[in-house]
Amino acid sequence: MSLKINERKLNYGLAINEALSQMMECDKGIILIGQGVKSPWYVGQTCKDLVAKFGEDRVIDTPVSENAMTGAAVGVALSGMKAIAVHPRIDFLLYAIDPIINEAANWYYMNGGKLSVPVVFWPIINRGGEQGAQHSQALHAMFAHIPGLKVVMPADAYSAKGLMVSAIRDPNPVVYIDDRWLYGEISDVPEEIYDVPIGKARLVAEGEDITVIAVSYMVKEAELALYELKELDIRVELIDIRTVKPLDVESIIKSVSKTKKALVVDCGWKSFGISSEISSIINENCFDLLKHPVRRLALPDCPAPASSELEKEYYISKKDIIREIRNILR
């Protein structure tokens, strides 16, 4: 099917909303459950008008009990329906580790592929605004470590809609992590239903000097860096991984084999994170081709500060990416 991509623009939050609305219209067995699904304060525009459209039997605003509502979503999925469990802050998804890791992730394997859990765990990353350590964590590496879970992290509105469709259609559990800092991002989004394949990266920009592999919101900062680096005649190849697990190893290796230099930019902590995994993959497959050791940009190994001035130093920005690329090429 040919998608008319350039006919309209949509912001990131409304792209998710459209995916949810269209999929729930097509399949009456889909429910959305979570805290604050009625409230734009919790979920932005992502759940706008869904209660009015589908009723409180299918869009269920729950009490503040992450473990109970996530367990209910897993139970619904086991009964033959499809569940989307939204957590307005990924930090408090930690209260629901048992039904996600011990149950949903293992069910397909434990039953020899005869039974699956079609559930989407949809946590939202909140950062900045002096929210402090308990409300600012990007925990994607932890969930990517677990066999049986797929983890996706869109970085633009087009991917946000397409990956939500793919996550809902997947017969096994998918952790769909979006970043509230992306809610104002606007891009071309087709009106019809489409999917973005899980496990396939997006080539954002082609270049010959260095490959930048970015995760989630870091794609936006890397794009801003690209504009300034072009003025210095530095041509960067930018890859948006889109899917943390399974990684599109082929696209990463293909790009690094061409540029022979790589920088991995992650929105999570540096130690034992996604940047470490991607760096290892590059070294295992491209070591003899590399003209410079793989470098990583990620958060320092300390909790997020609750000061706006400290936040400016803590979080990665385009200036950090530009500095790192210039150091590598020097």
* Residue 192 is among the residues annotated as catalytic for this protein: no
Residue owning tokens 């889109």: 242
SS (H, E, C) 170-221: CCCCEEECEEHHHCCCEEECCCCCCCCCCCCCEEEECCCCEEEEECCCHHHH
CA distances from 13 to 20, 157, 324 (A): 11, 8, 31
Helices 274-286 and 249-259: crossing angle in degrees, nearest 10, is 60
135 is catalytic: yes
| Residue of 18, 87, 103, 135 marked active site | 135
How far, in Å, CA of 42 to CA of 22, rounded?
Answer: 21
What is the rounded CA–CA span in Å between residue 162 and residue 187? Answer: 13
**For residues 158 and 15, what is the distance between their CA atoms, to the nearest angstrom?**
7
Catalytic residue among 18, 66, 223, 324: 66
DSSP 94: G
Angle at 124 between CA 119 and CA 126, to 5 degrees: 165
Active site residues: 66, 135
